[in-house]
Amino acid sequence: MFYLFISFSLSVNAQLDQCDRFLDVPESYEFYGYICKLRHYGVVEGYPGNVYKPENYVTRGEMSKFIFLGSSSPANTTCGDFPDVPYNAPFYTEITSLKCLNIVSGCPQIDGSFLYKPNNNVTRGEMAKFIVIARGW
């Protein structure tokens, strides 16, 4: 699961005494502790109604927010954007900042351009690449 790897990549080792838990993530849930840590550190916010939807897939746009917030890097959108992520798009700042940090490069197209495809689901391979580059491993 993506949130397991993100929590690990953030090197969040401290135990949390209390968790402001999501209504759909009981303490018995396999990844409860990881999700609590991500919430505690402001990496995830969940959905309206105080739910996390832990079995949902993660889009490339959502992943960009998790990685960006976990990196603690300042926003930087000066290197240009992706054609499929306009200025007013959700996650524009996060996606473009990760591009400026050389963490994401987009998906090559036949015409030589690169698209980010923010609504596509993240593959485990992509997730591994993003985390390794973001952590400098």
Q: Which residue's entry shows tokens 């009981």?
A: 26
Q: What is the pLDDT at residue 15?
A: 55
Give the model confidence (pLDDT) of 99-116 as tens digits.
Answer: 999 999 999 999 999 999
- Our separate counts of H helices and E strands in the chain read 5, 2
Measured in degrees and rounded to the nearest 5, phi and psi for residue 51 equal -120, 155
pTM, two decimal places: 0.75
The answer to whether 60 and 117 have CB atoms below 8 angstroms apart is yes
Q: Which residue's entry shows tokens 């990844």?
A: 31
Give the model confidence (pLDDT) of 13-69 as tens digits.
Answer: 445 557 888 999 999 998 888 888 888 888 888 899 999 998 888 899 999 998 998
Q: What is the pLDDT at residue 16?
A: 57
